[in-house]
Amino acid sequence: EVHLVESGGVVVQPGGSLRLSCAGSGFTFGDYSMHWIRQVPGKGLEWVSGITWDSGHLDYADSVRGRFTISRDNTNNSLYLQMDSLRAEDAGFYYCAKDGLWWTWGQGTLVTVSS
């Protein structure tokens, strides 16, 4: 069974940095593109970033391009999101998802941006 576990969500000040992690299991991690999606509590879903299986193509939403960096470590079955220059509007739940005919999601980690 596919299992994704996000971690790293904490309270951070505006302008600060944070790195989220996502540990994958139950599938051949290195065979799949992966994504980050976020959601402000009580609001809708926003795709944030995606990365191909070999890290050959990185993709970002306009709202985070230049501030966030997606990466992966296929040896350790891990996906990362480096978040810099954080803003209040970056707060929310961050989910990682496995690509495929359908996306499989983790349970999310909460990022709070507050002074």
Partner 1 sequence: EIVLTQSPVTLSLSPGERATLYCRASQKISNMYLAWYQQKPGQAPRLLFYAASSRATDIPDRFRASGSGTDFALTISSLEPDDSAVFYCQQFGYSPYTFGQGTKLQIK
- Which residues of this protein are in contact with partner 1, per CB under 8 A? 35, 44-47, 50, 59, 61-62, 95, 99, 101-108
Q: Shortest approach of partner 1 to residue 39 CB, angstroms?
A: 8
CB of residue 87 to partner 1, shortest distance in Å = 18
Q: Rank residues 23 and 61 by Cβ distance to partner 1 and give the closer one.
A: 61
37 CB-near residues (< 8 Å, 6+ apart): 45, 46, 47, 48, 94, 95, 96, 97, 105
Q: Residue 59 in contact with residue 49, Cβ under 8 Å?
A: yes
C-beta of 30: minimal distance to partner 1 in Å? 20
Nearest residue (CB) to partner 1, 62 versus 115: 62
Q: By C-beta, is 17 or 107 nearer to partner 1?
A: 107
